[in-house]
Copies of this chain bind each other. A is one copy, B any other.
Amino acid sequence: MNDHGLSATAKVILGLLGSRPRSGYEIKAAVDRSTRYFWAASYGQIYPELRRLAEAGLIEGTDAPTGGRRRTVYELTNAGRHALGEWHREPPERFDYRDEAMLKLFFATAVEPAGAAGIARQRAEMAAETAEELRAVEAESPGSDQPGYAVLRFGIDFNEFVADWFERQALAFEEGVPLRKLPRPEAAEIEGER
């Protein structure tokens, strides 16, 4: 395995410090403003990870108090910039997808067949709302084609895809698929996958 030893949180920290020095608080704020939808991070991970990265020599912290409030600003060391470049060049991509609506749909036949359409429609509405929010964000941002903008565009396109897919699925359920006559879920478990 190509183990560079970077945790998920470490990756987003190094990436953000790649453009400029930041405090832990600023990192969290930047994540919430930008990568949140596809790469989240919490204080509970950020602060311990900053300490670990500093100990490993990938970043360096400088005291930069604001009046009487203590504050540490971190920046990349040369080793850190190198590690960031290494990671960026590596091929294998982590990818996680977890969707509760899908799980409910999967169990619908055994639990409450009549509920399937409602579940699908609810999920469609949620996705449509998220797409709407992101479109509003896009409208007030300096539209361009750089990668930083592309990820916002993906959020919109993806949520529209999901909304459309579940809406069509809801219609299919409503238009009389004879659920009672179909095999129960265990028969539908995906076969193969040696």
| Residue A1, interface by CB 8 Å | no
> A105 — nearest CB in chain B belongs to which residue?
B147
Q: Which residues of B contact A39 (CB under 8 A)?
A: 98-100, 102-103, 106
The CA of A76 and the CA of B111, in the complex, are separated in Å by 12
Given contacts A88-B104, A105-B147, A122-B93, contact A190 B33 (CB under 8 A): yes
Interface size band for A: 35 or more
Q: Which of A43-51, A52-60, A63-71, A150-158 contacts B (4 or more CB under 8 A)?
A: A150-158
Given contacts A111-B85, A137-B192, contact A15 B103 (CB under 8 A): yes
Given contacts A93-B99, A154-B102, contact A144 B15 (CB under 8 A): no
Say which residue of B142, B154, B179 sits within 8 Å of A165 (CB atoms). B154
Cβ of B89 and Cβ of A141 under 8 Å apart? no
The CA of A91 and the CA of B102, in the complex, are separated in Å by 13
Q: How far apart are A12's CB and chain B's nearest CB, in angstroms?
A: 7
- Residue among A30, A37, A144, A192 with the highest chain B CB neighbour number at 10 A: A192
Cβ of A99 and Cβ of B95 under 8 Å apart? yes
Cβ of A189 and Cβ of B148 under 8 Å apart? yes
The CA of A186 and the CA of B104, in the complex, are separated in Å by 39
Cβ of A98 and Cβ of B101 under 8 Å apart? no
Say which residue of B18, B33, B161, B183 sits within 8 Å of A107 (CB atoms). B18
Extra contacts, 18 of them, besides A38-B99, A96-B97 (Cβ < 8 A), are A8-B98, A15-B107, A84-B107, A85-B111, A88-B112, A93-B99, A93-B100, A94-B99, A95-B101, A96-B99, A97-B158, A106-B151, A137-B192, A145-B182, A146-B179, A148-B183, A152-B190, A154-B165
